[in-house]
Structure 1
Amino acid sequence: MTAQISIDRLTGLIAFARAASLGNYTSAARSLGVSPSAISKSVHRLEVQLGLRLFARTTRSLTLTPEGRDLHEKTLRLLQQAEEIEQTAKAARSEPSGTLRITAPLPIGVHILAPAIPRFRALYPKVYVELRLGDRHVDLIEESIDVAVRVGELADSRLISKKLGWHRIGAFASPDYLDRRGRPLIPDDLNRHDCVTFRYQSSGQLLRWPFKVGAKIIEFVPEHAVVTDASDAVAAIAVAGGGICISPTYVAAPFVKAGLLVPVLAEFAVDLFPITALWPESRRGNPNVNAFVAFLQGVFPAPAPWDVVVTTACVATPPP
């Protein structure tokens, strides 16, 4: 006898697995592109069909019951097998086509990837791109992401990685602010300045400003006048004369080129982390992934154009 499973039950299993992995219906709905009520109804129908209670629900989160934990593990294995079938089928074709799901931090996505995507689609017009941006850590396998671009070297045996370039950050201020308040000569001078700093949305922690002093790298949170959780807002406040900010070079470079920001403390700047492309092992032969990873090599040339802009400005305006 051939085993059969209804489409409705498969939908319920997918909704259940995503809700269990992300901890709430809202996040699961966002990742699947449906409404939270659709996720809730699918999970409820699954519970009725199975005669099991899968979640212990509170107003803020979902907790798996013992039966739910057991089903979640089995469902993830089932969905992984389905994913492998899909990837095998995709690898059998040579021409990139279909949907390519990419995730990246917001500033990298906005300033580097988004402007490059039209060029990628001009090369591969049959590929449809879904770009997800934010600093939430995304499980590539559970959320069916094809490629992630992240800051840092992340160890995960299920993923393949390729270094793309360096995530360089530096301190910047507007010429107007420096005319009014003077230029800091050493990192300790920041305590006598208005600083504009960044708070991570995912953790709520303030960015620790790194500087290379002698043979050591020091990190500290300076006294600050303004805190924001968006890199673009940090730079915009500094451009408006709000103080000294620390910013990725790819965010600051257009303002530096336009003369709206000036690098400061450049001799103390450090390269913290690499920018890395990551993709699941199951997508090793995926033509969409292979094409995009190869394309990224041109998006992140060495030296990166944004770093050249900042370095040139440092040479043009040496410290006093």
Structure 2
Amino acid sequence: MGLERLTGLIAFARAASLGSYTAAARALSVSPSAISKSVQRLEQHFGLKLFTRTTRSLTLTPEGRDLFERAMRILHEVEGIDQAAVASRAEPSGTLKITAPLPIGLNILAPALPRFRERYPNVTLDLRLGDQYSDIIEQGIDVLIRVGQLSDSRLISRHLGPHRTGAFASPRYLERKGTPRHPSELSEHDCVNFRYQSSGQALRWTYNEGERSQEVIPEAGITIDLSDAVAATMAADGGIGITPNYVAAPYVLRGELVPVLPQLIMERFPITALWPESRRGSPNVKAFLAFLAEVFPSPAPWDQAVAAHMPGAD
């Protein structure tokens, strides 16, 4: 098989799995036109139409679906050869692709990456932030960090730490409006709420009342779909809101936010690292997973910072 045909198979497989030339180009770090031309040459070589194209999507033809399944078997074998070669090297080197939700990447991972590079200068880190990386094997991701667990038998997982959230407000806001003692008082306050980008649903604020779990969606004057923006709005005296401790902790340490309403402290889905079974022996992945144990210590410093400023703390 010639190099051009193998390149075409890679471009075709990425476009088929991701559903567009643009997404495939992003995953392979080339231009969309390069993906399109590679697929066209592959179609000309086989004399087959591989995609039904519309302005918005790509759909595999029956012939394209058959070729896709065969191509993926070949590419997985090639990937296995590559991983075996990587695993044979004693020192981590080459590119390590990581993906994480934006708030975790911004507040926890990105500040720690220079320390990893000091330790392993031959590793080039490629950090991709967002939740669009769902099939990490198809997208060539080495380590995925997520809140919660992905149910994929091809992946190995490791618990990194709890994902705790709490309610916060700025000292100036509380001086002006008073400090609530119970979630039932939220109707008397300005609130900043979070909206999930995936579903468009507003965050439900839950708390325990005796043995019963209570839930409230506050009447928010401001709703934002990014935790960091919620924290920034609260620090600008926007009202009371809920955000993860790792986002709020720097504001708390600077005196720009204080924790309120301990009833609203929640330990949501855990923060988890996942990686493909095929990367098990990779020195890069092994080194980064060991490093993550340092980045996510127990107890986490961001949880300790918030707890130390909780009302009633010594």
Write the distance in 2 (CA, Å) between the matches of 1:299 and 1:62: 40
- Partner SS for 1:142: coil
CA deviation digits over 1:237-296, x for unaligned, max 9?
110011111111001001011111111112331201111111100011111100110111
Q: Does 1:16 align with 2:12?
A: yes
Paired with 1:177 and 1:43, the residues of 2 have a C-alpha distance of: 58
Matching of residues 137-152 of structure 1 within 5 Å? 137-152=133-148
Gaps of 5+ in 2: none
Paired amino acid for 1:69 = R
* Alignment-mate amino acid for residue 275 of structure 1: I
Q: 1:286 & 1:144 partners in 2: Cα distance? A: 14
Q: Does 1:233 align with 2:217?
A: no
Give, in whole Å, the separation in 2 of the partners of 1:78 and 1:119: 37
Aligned to 2:266: 270
Q: Counterpart of 1:314 in 2: which secondary structure?
A: coil
Distance 2:184 2:7 in 1: 57
Aligned length: 314
Shift of 1:194: 2.2
Task: Write the distance in 2 (CA, Å) between the matches of 1:27 and 1:210.
Answer: 37
The 8 Å contact of residues 158 and 280 in structure 1, kept in 2 or not, is answered as yes
Which of residues 204, 207, 211 in structure 1 aligns to 2:207? 211
Say whether residues 1:80 and 2:84 are aligned partners: no
Q: 1:216 to 1:89 in 2, by over 3 A?
A: farther
Aligned to 1:45: 41
> 1: CA distance between counterparts of 2:130 and 2:261?
29
RMSD: 1.7
- What is residue 194 of structure 1 aligned with on the other side? 190
Which residue of structure 1 aligns with residue 55 of structure 2?
A: 59
Structure 1 unmatched ranges of 5 or more = none
Whether 2:103 is the aligned partner of 1:107: answer yes
Cα distance change, pair 249–86 in 1 and its aligned pair in 2 (3 A): same
AA matched with 1:73:
E
Distance 1:139 1:237 in 2: 34
Structure 2 CA distance, aligned partners of 1:216 and 1:73? 51
Runs of 4+ in structure 1 displaced over 6 angstroms? none
Could you tell me the TM-score, scaled by structure 1's length?
0.93
Secondary structure at 2:16 match in 1: helix
Q: Aligned in 2, Cα 1:219/1:120: closer, same or farther, shift over 3 Å?
A: farther
Residue number among 248, 254, 260 corresponding to 2:244 in the alignment: 248
Q: Partner residue of 2:167?
A: 171
Identity fraction in percent: 64
**Secondary structure of the residue that 1:278 maps to in structure 2?**
strand
Amino acid at match of 2:94: G
In 1, the alpha carbon distance for the partners of 2:254 and 2:102 equals: 23
**1:317 deviation in Å?**
6.4
Q: Which residue number corresponds to residue 91 of structure 1?
A: 87
Distance between the aligned counterparts of 2:155 and 2:66, measured in 1?
A: 25
One-letter amino acid matched to 1:93: R
Distance apart, 1:186 and its partner CA: 2.4
